[in-house]
Structure 1
């Protein structure tokens, strides 16, 4: 297993991240492409986890909200690769990177169906459930 990251939209990492997001969010969950494939800036870091056969199987991205908080988004694992701890490993690497860069908090909008996954990693729910891209979400935060 290997985790690679890039903030360049012309990188192989970004292309692999988009491939996973298209498979999970657009094809599997039915989210409209114009909602899923949004604009990013160089401040956004895309992470991709590659399995032992060097296949891209999980992704997430992280963008600073401000000097203390990173926003985690687009956490996805290919359906055939679920249940192996890939997303957990990816998020733990992101937590480590955020700490090294002196951020003190991570926030995310979890799909309600995935809320228990984030809770197992130490994320705590905040505020009311809300709708995004036609799916119920819950804001969650993690103190680094």
Structure 2
């Protein structure tokens, strides 16, 4: 199980950003300038730690219209398949509910669409390209 924490310190933020750089910039070839954008200054960031306190997952959350918007969900390649993506999403959904919101939204890379469906998300858009990667928009009532 992942220990998901809302980022409060510079060290935690650096750890979250390092995970995003590895997954999106290095692994998926997203340009650094697209990955680290103007929304980072105002978003709520999360970092997930293993039982050994190793940072292995990261994400950010913004509130857009009536939605809590889950963004930049990343798990290091060697830790995928351990349920850590689910753990960080559930933690983000708890924060969304705690802020009085009842809907969540995300733009999923199409290869991960089934993963999000298992967590209760429904596809509400056609496929579109973002950072050169096919995505769909998905929503969930919390």
Tell me if the contact between 1:129 and 1:137 (Cα under 8 Å) persists in the aligned partners. Answer: yes
Task: Give, in angstroms, the shift of residue 40 of structure 1.
Answer: 2.5
1:55 corresponds to 2:50: no
Equivalent residues, number: 141
Distance 1:27 1:114 in 2: 19
- The answer to whether the Cα contact below 8 Å between 1:43 and 1:64 also exists between their aligned partners in 2 is no
Q: Deviations over 1:69-128 (max 9, x none)?
A: 111100010001111101101101111111121101111100001111111100000021
Distance 1:41 1:35, change over 3 A: closer
Which residue is 2:14 aligned to? 15
Give the TM-score, by structure 2 length.
0.94
Aligned partner of 2:94 in structure 1 is 96
State how far apart, in whole Å, the 2-side matches of 1:78 and 1:103 are: 29
Query: Helix, strand or coil for the counterpart of 2:126?
Result: strand
Secondary structure (helix, strand or coil) at the match of 1:128 reads coil
Structure 1: where are the runs of 5+ without partners? Answer: none
State the Cα distance separating 1:140 from its structure 2 match: 0.3
3-state SS in 2 of match to 1:88: helix
5+ long unaligned stretches in structure 2: none
Misfit runs of 4+, over 6 Å: none
RMSD: 1.4
